[in-house]
């Protein structure tokens, strides 16, 4: 609150913040504006506006097929990541204190490592297992890079959990499983929801790793890359704007519902 007060009372700081925000968002704004062009080519500003290319991408074809595949993979990965990441976060929190830092670093390492390094490793692994270009390989690869988001958000929720409530439930005769369902799990909801959304977005947008392990099962990011490489038309801008809108909508929903967790507290 004090930082917000300082920004509001200092016009120079406020102007600098707005300028930096505009600088970071300007490319996205240009992309969105270009997606509404009615011309056959990209240009800024568009000579004519319309929804021509949005109608084009929702017609049966490669765009709709690859978008559906990306949504399917992300919808499979997100709940698996929630289950796996929650168990990992609980194991770190309730495990030996001397191993917590090491295990936490190990579990979030896929977020830190360059994805091209992970992609090379996945590429060799799926070739050895003869599992390249399969849904199983894509889902497992996306699961590994999505779990860190769940670990971080659930760990933050666990930091704000009052252990005395769980102990009281156990003392009153509840089993460990019932205590988890009725005491621990409700307190983890903000972290679970935030982590699930981040995992879904991470899987939906992942390009590098998917590019290495697929050939014919193209996802939306790979289809966008292929379109940029071989033919450039405004449909790419329309698809990118639609994906951006979905990501922004999910993030705004988290903020409005107070489901973001940071520094051990819920951001409302």
Q: What is the dihedral of CA 26, 32, 34, 37, to 10 degrees?
A: -150
Output the pTM of the full model: 0.82
User: Cα(268)–Cα(16) distance, rounded to whole angstroms?
Assistant: 25
Place of tokens 């917590």: 100
pLDDT attached to residue 63:
86
pLDDT digits (tens, 9 = 90+) for 229-243: 777 778 888 888 888
pLDDT attached to residue 42:
78
Secondary structure letter of residue 49 according to DSSP = B
Q: CB–CB of 80/139 below 8 Å? A: yes
With a cut of 70, which residues of the chain have pLDDT below it?
A: 1-9, 257-268
pLDDT digits (tens, 9 = 90+) for 104-143: 888 888 888 888 989 998 998 888 888 888 898 999 999 9
């Amino acid at each position: 609150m004090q930082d917000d007060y300082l920004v509001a009372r200092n016009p120079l700081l406020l102007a600098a913040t707005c300028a930096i925000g505009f600088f970071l968002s300007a490319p996205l704004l240009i992309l969105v504006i270009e997606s509404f062009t009615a011309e056959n080519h990209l240009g800024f500003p568009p000579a004519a506006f319309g929804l021509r290319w949005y109608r084009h991408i929702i017609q049966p074809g490669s765009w709709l097929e690859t978008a559906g595949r990306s949504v399917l993979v992300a919808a499979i990965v997100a709940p698996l990541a929630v289950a796996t990441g929650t168990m990992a976060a609980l194991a770190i929190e309730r495990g030996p204190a001397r191993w917590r830092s090491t295990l936490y670093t190990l579990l979030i390492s896929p977020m830190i490592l360059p994805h091209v390094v992970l992609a090379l490793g996945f590429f060799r692994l799926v070739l050895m297992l003869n599992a390249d270009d399969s849904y199983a390989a894509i889902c497992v690869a996306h699961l590994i890079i999505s779990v860190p988001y769940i670990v971080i958000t659930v760990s933050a929720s666990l930091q704000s959990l009052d252990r005395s409530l769980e102990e009281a439930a156990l003392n009153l005769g509840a089993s460990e499983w019932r205590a988890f369902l009725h005491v621990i799990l409700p307190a983890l909801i903000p972290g679970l929801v935030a982590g699930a959304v981040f995992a879904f977005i991470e899987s939906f947008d992942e390009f590098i790793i998917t590019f290495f392990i697929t050939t014919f099962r193209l996802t939306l990011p790979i289809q966008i890359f292929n379109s940029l490489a071989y033919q450039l038309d405004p449909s790419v801008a329309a698809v990118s704007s639609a994906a951006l809108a979905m990501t922004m909508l999910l993030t705004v929903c988290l903020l409005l519902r107070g489901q973001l967790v940071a520094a051990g507290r819920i951001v409302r």
